[in-house]
Amino acid sequence: MNGRMTSGSEPLDVVLGGGLPRNAIVLVMGAPGAGKTIFAQQWVFANATPDRPALYLSTVSEPLEKILRYGQLLSFFDPAAVGRSVWYEDLGGTLREQGLPGVLERVRELIRVKQPAMIVIDSFKATHAYAGSRSGAFRAFLHDLAGMLSAFPATSMWIGEYQEDEIPRSPEFAVADAIIGLKSVHSAERTSRALQVHKLRGGGFLAGSHSYRLSADGFTVYPRLADPADAKDYDLLGERIPSGIHALDDMLEDGYWSGSSTLVAGPTGIGKTLMGLHFVSYAVGRGDAAIIATMQEDPAQLERTASQFGWSVKTDNLTVMYRSPVDLNVDQWVYELLDLIETTGASRVLLDSLGDLQAAAPDELRFREYLYSLLHRSSRHGTSLMMTYELPELSGVSKVSDVAVSHMADNVVLLQYRGLTGPMSRTLTVLKTRAANHRSGVREFQLTADGIVLVPAQPLNDFEAGQGAPQV
């Protein structure tokens, strides 16, 4: 039997470096409503068997009847397992009448009779109040309980409404072999949930904060994306293919590398989404799978726009992943997109737009981590990614180095308006192509029934365009 057991959530097992340690004491901390009880019950029902049962002990924090009533609303809760492989016991009366010594004796008796492989105490922190005035009473109880559990081959989970500043002060944290913290994170008007492993003896784990969500299916974790899934070398395809956008292909000369990323930056209404539709429609026309991951327009709006140019987003090999930017969980969004890329084998993805994704991220560092991993994992799949980003300036952009992932993207395309005081026109500039050549200069383009088309004229120089070449 290996040294780890599943937490009941495969992604959480990844965070834990393979699962929870066996025959250890695991302390799960967090404020009320953080999901500690759901965490514990999901773990119990994922592992308990009649031969290796679980013992779930409630104290005085929450009545056992309430734990059972709400537990039955969860999809993993198995009523047939109760009394066979999962045993519930209320220690509240014992704690009130006999104090900590009575609890110790009752736990010892239950272990002798039930022979559990798992023991949950919910809430462990509530036992502090019954230590009395005698100095060291709680430490003596803790010492005896930990010694009893260490002598018996069982994994224990202690749940408590602890705060992070209690870790160095409360003695139970020194006894625990693993410490898992659950908390709410507030960013502007958004609130998200975050899990962090503070301690895990006998193995490695993924450091940092990991997003999670609670639902009828229990505890779902989205491990923090910070590095490529596989850091080993991999072969890049040496294939140069058209973008499918004639105006852009004229500037790229030999096309672009498959599996590369392209950032299209420009003001509102300039044609960024249309360029993205060009991009994915070309792949669909070749019989390849493609994905539109949008927070800008829902499928009905996209279909209306695409139909004006003879395209449709309602095709078998084109998947539209629309998510509202109002309540967007970025961690969940990234994993859903990566899963779609894997399952569909998409050769191209349009991400519309980075601005919405950036606004939903808890901070700038995490936003860059998400995109770094997304770009690298897409490249490993040979999936080409086009990302749109809205600029506040209509024209005269001097640099895009501060724009999202301009330094990470393989190709950077800038769209601007020209002639704001008179007849307006649209211009296109290719600022960057990694490992390839491109035509420099500012070119005028038009939106026609055929999509984006360059105006048949000589490239404008910087003086004629009335704007300098932006810095990447």
270 falls in which pLDDT band (50, 70, 90)? very high
Higher-pLDDT residue of 250 and 277 is: 277
67 falls in which pLDDT band (50, 70, 90)? confident
How much is the CA Rg of the chain, to the nearest whole Å? 29
Please state the rounded mean pLDDT for residues 179-206: 85
Supply the DSSP string of 355-385, one letter for each residue.
HHHHHHSSSHHHHHHHHHHHHHHHHHHT-EE
β pairing state of 20-21 and 4-5 = antiparallel
For residue 353, pLDDT beyond 80? yes
Please tell me what DSSP assigns to residue 469: P
Q: Which tokens go with 52?
A: 């290796």
First to last CA, the chain: 55
pLDDT digits (tens, 9 = 90+) for 417-427: 987 677 788 99
3-state secondary structure of 329: coil
CA distance 22 to 2: 8
Range list of β-strands (E), 280-407: 290-294, 318-322, 348-352, 384-390
Which pLDDT score is estimated for 182?
96
CA distance 386 to 347: 11
Which pLDDT score is estimated for 378?
87
3-state secondary structure of 22: coil
Rounded to the nearest integer, the mean pLDDT of the chain is 86
319 falls in which pLDDT band (50, 70, 90)? very high
Which has the closest alpha carbon to 280: 466, 451, 436?
451
Please state the rounded mean pLDDT for residues 226-243: 62
Please state the rounded mean pLDDT for residues 324-345: 89
Which has the closest alpha carbon to 245: 269, 287, 276, 273?
276
pLDDT digits (tens, 9 = 90+) for 126-182: 999 888 777 688 999 999 999 998 888 899 999 999 999 999 999 999 999 999 999
For residue 220, pLDDT beyond 80? yes
Which pLDDT score is estimated for 337?
93
Which has the closest alpha carbon to 265: 367, 358, 348?
358
β pairing state of 178-187 and 25-30 = parallel
Task: Using alpha carbons, list the distances in angstroms from residue 425 to 136, 271, 302, 419, 445.
Answer: 80, 12, 24, 7, 8
Which pLDDT score is estimated for 233?
56
Which has the closest alpha carbon to 240: 232, 249, 231, 228?
249
Half-sphere exposure of 80 (CA within 13 A, CB side): 2
pLDDT digits (tens, 9 = 90+) for 294-310: 998 889 999 999 998 88
For residue 228, pLDDT beyond 60? no
For residue 232, pLDDT beyond 70? no
CA distance 352 to 389: 8
234 falls in which pLDDT band (50, 70, 90)? low
465 falls in which pLDDT band (50, 70, 90)? very low
Which pLDDT score is estimated for 3?
81
CA distance 230 to 379: 12
Please state the rounded mean pLDDT for residues 276-293: 93
Which pLDDT score is estimated for 434?
77
48 falls in which pLDDT band (50, 70, 90)? very high
Higher-pLDDT residue of 11 and 241 is: 11
Half-sphere exposure of 313 (CA within 13 A, CB side): 26
β pairing state of 443-448 and 451-454 = antiparallel
Please tell me what DSSP assigns to residue 459: P
CA distance 272 to 387: 9
Alpha-carbon dihedral sign for residues 46, 47, 51, 57: negative
Please state the rounded mean pLDDT for residues 249-278: 85
Which pLDDT score is estimated for 51?
94
Question: Do 56 and 40 meet the contact criterion of CB atoms below 8 Å apart?
Answer: yes
For residue 418, give every residue at least 6 positions away whose Cβ sits within 8 Å of its Cβ, in sequence order, or none.
395, 424, 425, 426, 427, 442, 444, 465, 466, 467
For residue 373, pLDDT beyond 80? yes
Q: What percent of the chain has pLDDT over 90?
A: 50
CA distance 43 to 52: 13
Torsion of CA 75, 76, 80, 86, to 10 degrees: -140
3-state secondary structure of 172: helix
188 falls in which pLDDT band (50, 70, 90)? low
Which pLDDT score is estimated for 189?
62
Which residues, listed in sequence order, are joined to residue 185 by a DSSP beta bridge? Answer: 192
Torsion of CA 212, 215, 216, 221, to 10 degrees: -10
pLDDT digits (tens, 9 = 90+) for 83-131: 999 999 999 999 999 999 999 999 999 999 999 999 999 989 999 988 8
Q: What is the pTM of this model?
A: 0.79
